Amino acid sequence: MKPRNIKILQRRGKDLQANILNAHTIIVASTTGSSANHVVTVEYEPDGVIRARCTCAWAINGGIACSHVIAALEKLAETKGRTLSFWDERSDAERQKHRIFYLTGGRRQTEPGVWITSRQAA
Ligand SMILES: [Zn+2]
């Protein structure tokens, strides 16, 4: 299950506060609402595959790239002086001519994922 509009989620992710516990665990909280914190866990696989899980309902039901995961990955990238963009299609990602990652969920490998490009932060 992929988000319907990854660009809207990408913007929403910027409104979330992400706190890195360690390289694989990020706590994500809303800066506006009083909704619960979510825990995002990130695993890196060879060939640029990122496997991320989140405790929100969307992710638990097999959803990929919720706003919490996006916020967590952005935060991790920020610590390396990078900024991320998220794409539905591989061809859109490749057009950016930046380093490419593939984001998928925790459990179901067959679920279609989301493409990520990473570039130097301005
Ligand atoms: Zn989530």
CA 78 centroid distance within chain: 13
Average pLDDT over residues 26-43: 86
Find the 97 Cα to ligand 1 centroid distance in Å: 28
Distance (Å) from CA 4 to ligand 1 centroid: 15
114 CA → ligand 1 middle, Å: 15
3-class secondary structure per residue, the chain:
CCCCCHHHHHHHHCCEEEEEEECCEEEEEECCCCCCCEEEEEEEEHHHEEEEEECCHHHHCCCCCCHHHHHHHHHHHHCCCEEEEEECCHHHHHHCCCEEEEEECCCCCCCCCEEEEEEECC
Does 18 score more than 70 pLDDT? Answer: yes
Select the more confidently predicted residue: 12 or 86: 86
pLDDT greater than 70 at residue 109: no
Task: State yes or no: pLDDT of 31 exceeds 90.
Answer: no
Using DSSP bridges, classify how beta strands 99-104 and 49-54 pair: parallel, antiparallel or unpaired: parallel
